[in-house]
Each structure stands twice: as structure tokens, then as C-alpha cells.
Amino acid sequence: MHTERTVSLFRNGRNQAVRIPREFELDGDLALIRKEGNHLVIEPIMKGRLLQLLQTLEPIDEEFPDVDDQMISLDNIEL
């Protein structure tokens, strides 16, 4: 994979745009762009990644304790 390539800049209305070569295409429809000194950094915004990760996890079979039994009553505590 190439790590560097010269690209064309052009105008799209009042915005400057860049042609992204196929080997640098980003996944998704949205990206975050920021300027760091003279560098532009473009990162894809990946939605739904947490749900995809959770779907790969095995279900938890252990029982959880009843938290109501372990709660401290605040009725008798002076605040």
C-alpha cells in the first residue's frame, strides 16, 4: 500500500476539495477533519462499532447479586 501520493486540489463552490485516491478511501459517509500545524488529518467517523463489538461477546451466565439488599438507607444519615 502506498503511504504517500500527490493529489489534486480543486474548488467545489466556496469550498476547497481534494480528490482522494482509491487506495486511501475511507469507510463510511462521515469524516472528522482537523488541522495540526500545516497538516490536515482526516479520520472516518465509525458509527455502530460498539454494537458490533458487543455482538461478538459471549453472554454472561452468572447471576448478579440483588443490589437492593446491599443498599444503605439514607433516611437515618444526617447530611
Beta strand extents in 1-79 (DSSP E only): 9-12, 15-18, 31-36, 39-44
Please list the pLDDT of the chain residue by residue as tens digits (79 residues). Answer: 568 899 999 999 999 999 999 999 998 889 999 999 999 999 998 887 788 888 899 988 888 877 776 666 666 666 6
Residue 41 C-alpha cell reads as: 488529518
Q: pLDDT value at position 36?
A: 96
Q: Are 76 and 62 in contact (CB under 8 A)?
A: no
Q: Spell out the long-range contacts of 32-35 with Cβ–Cβ below 8 A and sequence spacing 24 or more.
A: none
Q: pLDDT value at position 67?
A: 77
Domain ranges of the chain: 24-50
